[in-house]
Amino acid sequence: MKLLDGNYCAQQIRLEIATQVASFKAEGRRAPHLAAVLVGNDGASRNYVGMKVRDCEEIGFNSSLLHLNENIAEADLLAKIDELNADNDIDGFIVQLPLPKKIDEKKVILAINPRKDVDGFCPENVGNLCLGFPAFISATPNGIMELLRRYDITTEGKHCVVLGRSNIVGTPMAILLSRNASPGNATVTLAHSRTVNLKEVCRSADILVVAVGKTEFVTADMVKEGAVVIDVGQTRVSDTSRKSGFRNVGDVDFDNVKDKCSFITYVTGGVGPMTRASLLQNTLKAYRQNQGAHYV
């Protein structure tokens, strides 16, 4: 079993981007600028957004954090988004999900200018991804593709099972794996809560990507010997033995699954850092586009 080290790969990506940022600055240009909108005080969301802002600082990006009250009216949030859309100094921005229940997430996503949608959540970007046109690709699936690429894991002709059909992970993941590209060219099954014989379906996977948000959902009897297992899950569970009072648990029963795998990610240091690195890559792309470079 080999651990897929997302921390290491993400660090490499940050170094690559930092070099480019240094050259922009040396040419007298401003740095790329990412803004993050955080509504409310959910601990996990605060933590994720905090890490995204720290990543920006590390590589020389400008960043802005808009921390809004959880009782903000939907109309006021939409007005903030309009301001960000209009601000030429901001290349891209994200609105951290989930949002408070009384705010319609769909309306918020639709309000984001697709050219600044570095999360790749807008219909225009999802549609372009499906058609194989240039697009901002959702950071988690894009980060997983980068991890597969950097570890030279062959996907062509393989059976990939994606467990979970969310708009931001499972669905774009299935599209990326099936595209005529490298990595890609896989035969993909998108499995979900209504899939019949889920255990057998998972056991037929050469590559299993798990994004169901249920702790230790995938057990050893669901995994083929030699499979590649990618765990997207990260759920906080109470742990009084820790100073923080919690620990993160993945969607895969790592201790019992790991010895069956050729490659596997761990709940920390796996997919999470790659998601953040992908966001930085998308922001760099938005910057280039904003500065007049081709949309690539």
Residues interacting with ligand GUN, by CB under 6 A?
Answer: 94-97, 119, 139-140, 275
Minimal distance, residue 29 CB to ligand GUN, in Å: 27
* Residue 25: other Cβ atoms inside 10 A: 12
Minimal distance, residue 168 CB to ligand GUN, in Å: 6
* Beta strand pairing call for 235-238 and 246-249: antiparallel
* Residue 239: other Cβ atoms inside 10 A: 13
Residue number closest to ligand GUN, CB atom: 97
Minimal distance, residue 273 CB to ligand GUN, in Å: 13
Minimal distance, residue 94 CB to ligand GUN, in Å: 4
Q: How far apart are alpha carbons 227 and 254 in whole angstroms?
A: 13
- The contacts of residue 97 (CB under 8 Å, 6+ apart) are 45, 105, 168
Q: Which is nearer to ligand GUN, 66 or 97 (CB)?
A: 97
Q: Which is nearer to ligand GUN, 119 or 251 (CB)?
A: 119
Any idea which residues carry the catalytic annotation? 52, 96, 119
